Amino acid sequence: MNEHLTHSSLRGWLGVAAITASLFVFLTTELMPVGLLTPLSRSLDVQVGVAALMVTLYGVAAGLAVTFIVAWTRRVNRRVLLSVLLAVLTLGNLVTAVAPNFPLVLATRLLMGFASGVFWAIGVSMAMRLVQERHASRAAAIVMSGISIATVVGIPLGTVVEDLTGWRTTFLIWAGLGLLVLLTVAVTVPSLPSDNAVSVREVFGLPVKNVPLRAVLCIVVLFVLGHFGAYTFVRPFLEDVASASSSFITVVLIVFGIGGAIGNFIAGYTVDKNLRGSFIVGSLMLATALLLLLAIGDGKAGAIVALVLWGLAFGVVQLSQVNMTLAAAPETFEAAMSLNTMAYNTSIALGALFGGLFADNLGVTSVVWFGVALTAASLLVMLATSTRRSPGAGAPPSAGEPAPATTARDA
């Protein structure tokens, strides 16, 4: 167990808040093109499916490079590393805002993805080291709440700014936010020397030896492929099927985010009682929401109902899969999280890529069916593997055991 390096209780929690803000700007930057896909494609003179490569390349970089970069920087002070990551994000948003062509945008997003992937691997454990050990789980939960804040506020706010001024202004504002968060991290986060040298070989050896972790990663890949394959094309779907205006799309994105926040809150209680059950119920809700979108999404009321349920489901499944990863590898927290980051972000990228191919060749409705199919596949894998768990190394703790997050070690 690492010693928690807090200089004072107040500064520790301010540092946790700064890391939560970091998650907010990283996640909103990654998913911002979802709400801006149509105006982006028109402005840069590319198809909607091609414009979705902004999400794809970002996710590819975040997913494929994370384990290597975390290992290569394993002796770098974590405050310094986070500051560098935020500097890359800030500069990347600035370049995106002024980029004259789509190839430059894609190249910039690729570099930003590297920074995002490393943040996802180190951010939670950094927060846990800033507070007393008994508060580590609470610190982790606060940081993860940045996901809900991003979906409720960040992404819809981006669509509002775009509607009022243009998509370039949106990225310019996010560059300013990134700089503000960078300064906050520099002031509030104390020095966090890296004290756990984990090689790339050790990280990749985890799922070979840890069967439960391997199953969880497979479930994560399928769930994320389905969810983000469909979610990336929410705006084009609603514009095509429901003739939705940009203001209505802003409303449904806010509705989705609120649903996600509520789902996270509910799952915060249910995952401790029945982790697998929470994921199963959340997956069923997600598949149902997508089917409702296909059935009644051509009307505004139906679209709102479907997006509320979709948001609730995502909040439940998202928190469940994080806890499933931690439960499967409680003694190798960050190594497991780097693998989760690799699987999650690569799947975001592939989901956007496959969704773009479906949208451009078969229409945006086919992307929703893609989401249904992959969500169902993740549920089937969960049901199949949950009946074959056996005691041993890496087995998830039973209900009532201490949360594994308190065993986190910095990479």
Distances from the Cα of 119 to the Cα of 84, 126, 178, angstroms: 10, 10, 13
Q: What is the pLDDT of residue 160?
A: 79
Token digits of residue 52? 């979705």
Q: Rounded to two decimals, what is the model's pTM? A: 0.72
Q: What are phi and psi of 386, to 5 degrees?
A: -65, -20
Distance CA 375, CA 261 (A): 20
**3-class SS of residue 29:** helix
Token digits of residue 313? 């489901």
What are the 10-residue block averages of pLDDT along the chain, 411 residues in total? Answer: 52 90 90 80 82 80 80 84 95 92 90 89 84 75 76 73 84 94 94 72 83 92 91 85 82 83 80 87 94 90 92 87 81 78 81 84 88 93 71 36 34 32
Do residues 27 and 113 lie in contact, with contact meaning Cβ atoms separated by under 8 Å? no
Do residues 410 and 78 lie in contact, with contact meaning Cβ atoms separated by under 8 Å? yes
Torsion from C-alpha of 388, 390, 396, 402, nearest 10 degrees = 140
Residues 6+ apart with CB under 8 A from 391: none
Residues 6+ apart with CB under 8 A from 201: none
DSSP 388: S
Distance CA 220, CA 385 (A): 13
Residue entry with tokens 């500069």: 91
For 120-191, strand residue ranges (E) read none
Distance CA 42, CA 44 (A): 6
List b or e across 312-333, with b for residues whose CB sees 16 or more CB atoms inside 10 angstroms.
Answer: bbbbbbbbbbbbbbbbbbbebb
Distance CA 393, CA 41 (A): 49
Distance CA 257, CA 269 (A): 19
Residue 386: alpha-carbon gap to chain centroid: 24
Distances from the Cα of 27 to the Cα of 58, 112, 207, 222, 408, angstroms: 11, 11, 26, 20, 22
- Alpha helix (H) residue ranges in 165-299: 167-188, 200-209, 211-231, 234-241, 246-273, 275-296
